[in-house]
Structure 1
Amino acid sequence: MSWNDFHQRQSAIATVLGNARQNPDQALDLVPAPFTDTTELLRALQYKWTQQLTGRIDVALAETDDAADGDRIQAVTEAWRRTAEANPALRDLLDRHQANPVLRHDAAREHRMLALATGLAEPAEPDAEIARVGKAFLQLIRATPTESRKSCLLSLR
Structure 2
Amino acid sequence: MSWSDFYRRREVLDRALRQARRTGGRVTLAEIPGGYDVFMNEGELLLALQHKWNQLLTGRIGLALDDLDHGAHGAAEDDRVDAISRAWRETARQNPELRAVLDAHGDAFPEQLRAGRDVELSMLALNAGLASAAEPADKIRRVGTALLNLIASTPTRPAGRPRGPVAQLRRLLAPAG
What range describes the TM-score normalised by the shorter chain of this pair? 0.7 to 0.9
1:21-60 matched pairs, under 5 angstroms: 21-24=21-24, 26-30=26-30, 32=35, 33-60=37-64
**Rounded Cα–Cα distance in structure 2 between residues aligned with 1:83 and 1:38:** 23
TM-score by length of 1: 0.88
Aligned-residue Cα RMSD (Å) equals 1.8
**Rounded Cα–Cα distance in structure 1 between residues aligned with 2:67 and 2:133:** 22
What runs of 5+ residues in structure 1 fail to find an aligned partner? 151-157
Paired AA for residue 96 in structure 1: A
TM-score by length of 2: 0.78
> Which range is displaced more, 65-74 or 132-141?
65-74
Which of 51, 61, 64 is the aligned partner of 2:65? 61
What runs of 5+ residues in structure 2 fail to find an aligned partner? 160-177
SS in 2 for 1:121: coil
SS in 2 for 1:15: helix
Higher relative contact order (CA 8 A, sep 6+): 2
1:4-153 matched pairs, under 5 angstroms: 4-24=4-24, 26-30=26-30, 32=35, 33-68=37-72, 70=75, 71-99=79-107, 100=109, 101-146=111-156
**Rounded Cα–Cα distance in structure 2 between residues aligned with 1:66 and 1:112:** 24
Q: Percent identity?
A: 45
2:25–2:97: 8 Å Cα contact kept in structure 1? no
Structure 1: 4+ residue segments shifted above 6 A: none
**Rounded Cα–Cα distance in structure 2 between residues aligned with 1:68 and 1:82:** 20
**What residue in structure 2 maps to residue 153 of structure 1?**
none
